[in-house]
């Protein structure tokens, strides 16, 4: 009976975490399967990103708790603001919008910092949006249709104020 309750708790936590990658306890045991966000997180440290000629200020979701909370419960996001997530290794991305009242767009990005895919995410939609690629290392969330408005498409290389995405985020792993 105890194992059934444990499985139910883990399953519920995975279903309720939102606005980002669902918990994958079997694949990444360091992610918190028991953390269920109930409020927006405080503004995270940010980094300047350049997507071609466009500049963006992106909060960095770097811990399992920050990633699990993501953009949940946020009610506004500046035009040139976003949030970047770093996957533990290249994988097929799966992000969703549970408890995210803002419609967002997500860029699935390879280990070199090149946008592979862009997906529009519907507010409060719990349906995971899977990447076609299994080589996604980073995910960048911004306001819905931001990529369209700024003429950013698949193939765009992203850099930071401190170097390339892999130089900044992967060298310390």
> Among 37, 34, 42, which residue's Cα sits nearest to residue 12?
34
For Cα atoms 143, 127, 57, give the angle at the middle one, nearest 5 degrees: 20
Q: What is the pLDDT of residue 38?
A: 87
Bridge partners of 140? 84, 107
In the predicted structure, residue 119 carries a pLDDT above the cut 70? yes
The domains located in the chain, with CATH, are 2-170 (2.60.120.1140)
CB 95 within 8 A of CB 131: no
Q: What is the pLDDT of residue 171?
A: 81
Distance CA 56, CA 48 (A): 6
Query: What does the pLDDT average to over 110-134?
Result: 97
> Among 9, 23, 117, which residue's Cα sits nearest to residue 69?
23
> Among 118, 36, 128, 110, which residue's Cα sits nearest to residue 82?
118
Percent of the chain predicted with pLDDT > 70: 79
Count of H helices and E strands in the chain? 4, 10
Q: What is the pLDDT of residue 28?
A: 36
CA–CA distance from 97 to each of 30, 125, 149 (Å)? 22, 5, 21
21: left (phi over 0), alpha (psi -120 to 50) or beta: beta
Q: What is the H or E stretch that residue 83 is in?
A: strand 81-91
In the predicted structure, residue 139 carries a pLDDT above the cut 70? yes
- For 45-101, how does the pLDDT look when each residue is reduced to its tens digit (9 = 90+)? 999 999 999 999 999 999 999 998 999 999 999 999 999 999 999 999 999 999 999
Average pLDDT of the chain? 84
CA–chain centroid gap for 137, Å, is 10
Lowest mean pLDDT across 11-15, 21-25, 54-58, 148-152: 11-15
Higher pLDDT residue, 70 or 171? Answer: 70
In the predicted structure, residue 117 carries a pLDDT above the cut 50? yes
Q: What is the pLDDT of residue 36?
A: 79
Helix (H, G, I), strand (E, B) or coil at 12: helix
- pTM for the model stands at 0.81
CA–chain centroid gap for 16, Å, is 16
- For 17-44, how does the pLDDT look when each residue is reduced to its tens digit (9 = 90+)? 445 544 443 333 334 455 678 898 999 9
Alpha helices in 55-101 (DSSP H): 64-69
CB 141 within 8 A of CB 118: no
């Amino acid at each position: 009976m105890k194992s059934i309750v444990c499985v139910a708790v883990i399953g519920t936590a995975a279903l309720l975490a939102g606005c980002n990658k669902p918990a994958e306890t079997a694949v990444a045991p360091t992610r918190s399967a028991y953390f269920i966000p109930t409020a927006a997180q405080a503004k995270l440290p940010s980094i300047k990103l350049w997507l071609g000629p466009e500049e963006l200020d992106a909060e960095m979701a770097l811990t399992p708790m920050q990633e699990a909370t993501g953009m949940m419960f946020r009610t506004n996001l500046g035009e040139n603001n976003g949030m970047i997530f770093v996957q533990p290794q290249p994988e097929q991305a799966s992000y969703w919008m549970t408890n995210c009242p803002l419609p967002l767009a997500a860029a699935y990005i390879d280990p070199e910092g090149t946008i592979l895919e862009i997906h529009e995410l519907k507010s409060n939609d719990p349906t995971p949006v899977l990447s076609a690629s299994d080589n996604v290392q980073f995910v960048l969330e911004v306001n819905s249709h931001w990529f369209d408005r700024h003429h950013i498409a698949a193939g765009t290389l992203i850099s930071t104020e401190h170097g390339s995405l892999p130089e900044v985020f992967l060298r310390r792993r």
